[in-house]
Amino acid sequence: MNWWISVGIEYEESQEKPMNQGIGIDIGIKDLAVCSDKKVYKNINKTAKVRKLKKKKRRLQRRISKKYAKNKKGECYCKTRNIVKSKKKLLKITHRLTDIRHNYLHQTTSEIINRKPKFIVLEDLNVKGMMTNKYLAKAVQEQCFNEFYRQMQYKCNWNNIEFITADRYYPSSKLCSCCGYVKKDLKHSEHIYICSECHNAIDRDYQASVNLMRYGLTA
């Protein structure tokens, strides 16, 4: 059983609009978010704490599966007391992982908002399309991109920060931040972007965030 406490606070709506430089945010799998002001938020799923819980979850899933197979009678699977107990433990671990990820998202989005940028730009990622890739699906699901968008959007609204969504086909990673050349053959394995025109070498995720920030200036 889980318990939740909801607290409502009434306060005057602020009309003040932040005037600091806007922020472009590139979200991904290697790191959760790379900001145009050089702030990087790591992937929480790579931490020792989360990896330990995930390992415990996998072991418990295998144990439950073996118990079901052992207690199979004909075409039916018998749910014993031990199976019920193990499934409750599995559910508890699953809730724990979800809470850790969502709490990290809240901490990240709040920290970005507290820098009071004039606007925030995020790319309109095709999350459903990414989920069809069997090599990326699990990592994309664990990063909770949709939840990151949701939190960022309503927090921007609360703080009078303009929330801008860049076009899905905007080449944020492929566009050179120095000369404007678009490298159409950029591979996913290329973490460092090297421009064939001006020979600019830069981290591809940071460059994407800079390009998104510039997109916000012209939006």
Rounded Cα distance between 173 and 70, Å, is: 51
Tell me the angle at which helices 145-158 and 81-113 cross, rounded to the nearest 10 degrees. Answer: 40
Whether the Cβ atoms of residue 193 and residue 202 lie closer than 8 Å to each other:
yes
- Residue ranges making up the domain that contains 74: 23-218
Residue 6, in any domain of the structure = no
* CB neighbour list of residue 27: distance below 8 Å, 6 or more residues apart: 33, 34, 122, 123, 125, 143, 145, 148
Between 165 and 187, the more confident residue is: 165
How confident is the model at residue 122, as a pLDDT? 97
Work out the angle at residue 166's Cα, subtended by the Cα atoms of residues 161 and 167, and round it to the nearest 5 degrees: 150
Asked whether residue 129 is assigned to any structural domain, the reply reads yes
In a domain, 5, yes or no: no
For residue 42, list its beta bridge partners.
31
The β-bridge partners of 70 are none
**CA torsion 207→213→218→219, rounded to 10°?**
120
pLDDT surpasses 90 at 37: yes
Taking only the tens place, the pLDDT of each residue in 85-102 is 999 999 999 999 999 999
pLDDT at residue 12, as a whole number: 79
What is the structure's pLDDT at 1?
64
Tens-digit pLDDT profile for residues 38-87: 999 999 999 999 999 999 999 999 999 998 888 887 778 788 889 999 99
Provide the sign of the torsion angle of the four alpha carbons 126, 128, 134, 138, taken in this order: positive
For residues 90 and 64, is the Cβ–Cβ distance under 8 A?
Answer: yes
The total number of structural domains in the chain stands at 1
pLDDT tens digit sequence for 118-177: 999 999 988 888 888 888 899 999 999 999 999 999 999 999 999 999 998 999 999 999
Ordered DSSP codes for 122-178: EE---HHHHHT-TTTHHHHHHHTHHHHHHHHHHHHHHTTPEEEEE-TT--TTTB-TT
Q: Is residue 146 part of a domain?
A: yes
DSSP state letter for 59: H
Rg, C-alpha atoms of the chain: 22
152/9: higher pLDDT: 152
**Does pLDDT of 108 surpass 70?**
yes
Position 10 in a domain:
no
